Chain A
């Protein structure tokens, strides 16, 4: 074992890998069926309304896009911050980042009212829209990470190029997540948004969610293809994850404390933090407790070496992240906009009322279809490209360059 070198090899086509692929294919088919169903009948068959205009597909899409940027953490640790322990894990990080982003964009596009007009979007740009900038940031991200992967994988490219490519990708993904957070941060109309802190909050979320997804995907790929994965490598990443989870909690705390200080936002804060029903439960119970404090306690109680702990921590962080995005996206919309301060308002169009939203099955299946797409793409990437080292045991010495 001790004499093994890091050799990147395509993952073998084990029965378990095929099984996982089939399972994911079922989700892909379900997602496609959901898309066709909604496209045929219109959005009336979803839970989305004229009050809650963005629903479950957007929760999944934003999760995937944010996680995509974070999935590149491992590569950045290796190339930008020169942590050699992360070098063998770097290529998979790039593949996963591209796949997650593609999955997220797929969900976003298929939920459009007119998905057939994707070409219109690609030929009409309104540069005062952060959406337009995000389209450029997202496509650019895929291109930059592709170059970054090529620089790492092509033996004819001198290794000195890895760092510049890695730095470019690192800066790019910070811009990307800033853009994603600004979709909400720049919405002046709604009390739940309109906050500059959305951008750094989304960056912190991307670090945490992306790393958590990476850990689970790495574990799954190694288990399914029968490759060794040293627990020390994983627990190193989990300790880093602890830092990111703490950062998310910090930005969340600042976000809500700032809002609490402003009288005009008290109503919204009261809704999210105290009497928002499912949103309050999701915020405190799932986002803060299960997705934040519990993982932190598990990591810093020194239990990082227990076998299932990294899997559990990562799963909890992902669950908390989904809850957080749900509270931001849906919670921010169900709370009514204040058109007439000082008055209690009512109308036939739900003015002044908390809007109702129940995610429908097609929406959830479309979102899960996007997740399945990202995972299938990562799996196919690992199957046809040499991105995953054949031996990731702790005794395997780390290669240079």
Chain B
């Protein structure tokens, strides 16, 4: 119990340090958004976006109230990171808005097994598909990177 509290505290400290570093430092590189800033502020969005989306998705699905503030579709109206050709990238691309943070904190996002990860109208390539599950295409790369890291670490010892 105490150990888990300690660990949680440690993570919180590290995380706040990371956020304090901002864009240039150790933190994730967050793609520029278009449109107006959230009135709630970025810190609020970072902390609460999943709760907001979760709440509003249930209101939408169960009660049929479809003009909700927090919807995935709404996110991508401003947060559609684009590739060299100016096409919004899908979640399969590491530059995707959601991935920029979620890769950093190693939290797997379940949303895009079912939801599209680009604005409506963008043609999503099939690579987007096989993202879910244990054997994701990035698994090989991840394992490779881990092995390389451990190798370098060992050499450094």
Cα of A253 to Cα of B68 in the assembled complex, Å: 58
Residues of the B chain whose Cβ atoms lie less than 8 Å from the Cβ of A36: 134-135
Interface residues on B, range: under 10
Cα of A116 to Cα of B136 in the assembled complex, Å: 14
The residue in chain A whose Cβ has the minimal distance to the Cβ of B113 is: A114
> Residues of B at under 8 Å CB distance from A?
110, 130, 133-135
Residues of the A chain whose Cβ atoms lie less than 8 Å from the Cβ of B110: 116
Cα of A39 to Cα of B110 in the assembled complex, Å: 14
Residues of the A chain whose Cβ atoms lie less than 8 Å from the Cβ of B134: 36, 39-40
Cα of A6 to Cα of B7 in the assembled complex, Å: 50
Residues of the A chain whose Cβ atoms lie less than 8 Å from the Cβ of B133: 39-40, 116
11 contacts between A and B (CB under 8 A): A36-B134, A36-B135, A39-B133, A39-B134, A39-B135, A40-B130, A40-B133, A40-B134, A40-B135, A116-B110, A116-B133
Residues of the A chain whose Cβ atoms lie less than 8 Å from the Cβ of B135: 36, 39-40
The residue in chain B whose Cβ has the minimal distance to the Cβ of A37 is: B135
Task: Name 9 extra pairs, CB < 8 A, besides A39-B135, A40-B130.
Answer: A36-B134, A36-B135, A39-B133, A39-B134, A40-B133, A40-B134, A40-B135, A116-B110, A116-B133
The residue in chain B whose Cβ has the minimal distance to the Cβ of A41 is: B130
Cα of A39 to Cα of B132 in the assembled complex, Å: 9
The count of A-to-B residue pairs whose CB atoms sit within 8 angstroms is 11
Cα of A36 to Cα of B130 in the assembled complex, Å: 13
Residues of the A chain whose Cβ atoms lie less than 8 Å from the Cβ of B130: 40
Give a binary string over A20-44; 1 marks a CB under 8 Å from any B CB, 0 the rest.
Answer: 0000000000000000100110000
State how many residues of chain A have any CB contact under 8 Å with chain B.
4
> 7 closest A-B pairs (Cβ-Cβ)?
A40-B135, A39-B133, A40-B133, A36-B135, A36-B134, A39-B134, A40-B130
Cα of A40 to Cα of B134 in the assembled complex, Å: 7
Chain A: minimal CB distance from B17 (Å): 31
Give a binary string over A104-122; 1 marks a CB under 8 Å from any B CB, 0 the rest.
Answer: 0000000000001000000
Residues of the B chain whose Cβ atoms lie less than 8 Å from the Cβ of A40: 130, 133-135
Of listed B130, B133, B134, B135, residue having the most chain A CB within 10 A:
B133
Chain B: minimal CB distance from A42 (Å): 9
Chain A: minimal CB distance from B132 (Å): 8
Cα of A40 to Cα of B135 in the assembled complex, Å: 6
Chain A: minimal CB distance from B76 (Å): 24
Cα of A40 to Cα of B139 in the assembled complex, Å: 12
Cα of A233 to Cα of B110 in the assembled complex, Å: 55
Give the contacts of A1-56 with B (CB-CB under 8 A): 36, 39-40
Cα of A213 to Cα of B7 in the assembled complex, Å: 47
Cα of A164 to Cα of B134 in the assembled complex, Å: 45
The residue in chain B whose Cβ has the minimal distance to the Cβ of A39 is: B133
Chain B: minimal CB distance from A117 (Å): 9
Chain A: minimal CB distance from B139 (Å): 10
Cα of A39 to Cα of B135 in the assembled complex, Å: 8
Residues of the B chain whose Cβ atoms lie less than 8 Å from the Cβ of A39: 133-135
Give the contacts of A218-273 with B (CB-CB under 8 A): none
Residues of the B chain whose Cβ atoms lie less than 8 Å from the Cβ of A116: 110, 133
Cα of A79 to Cα of B146 in the assembled complex, Å: 55
Cα of A36 to Cα of B134 in the assembled complex, Å: 7
Chain B: minimal CB distance from A121 (Å): 15
Chain A: minimal CB distance from B105 (Å): 18
Cα of A39 to Cα of B134 in the assembled complex, Å: 8
Chain A: minimal CB distance from B92 (Å): 15
Cα of A116 to Cα of B135 in the assembled complex, Å: 13
The residue in chain B whose Cβ has the minimal distance to the Cβ of A35 is: B134
Chain A: minimal CB distance from B122 (Å): 23
Chain B: minimal CB distance from A35 (Å): 9
Give the contacts of A113-141 with B (CB-CB under 8 A): 116
Of listed A36, A39, A40, residue having the most chain B CB within 10 A:
A40
The residue in chain A whose Cβ has the minimal distance to the Cβ of B129 is: A42
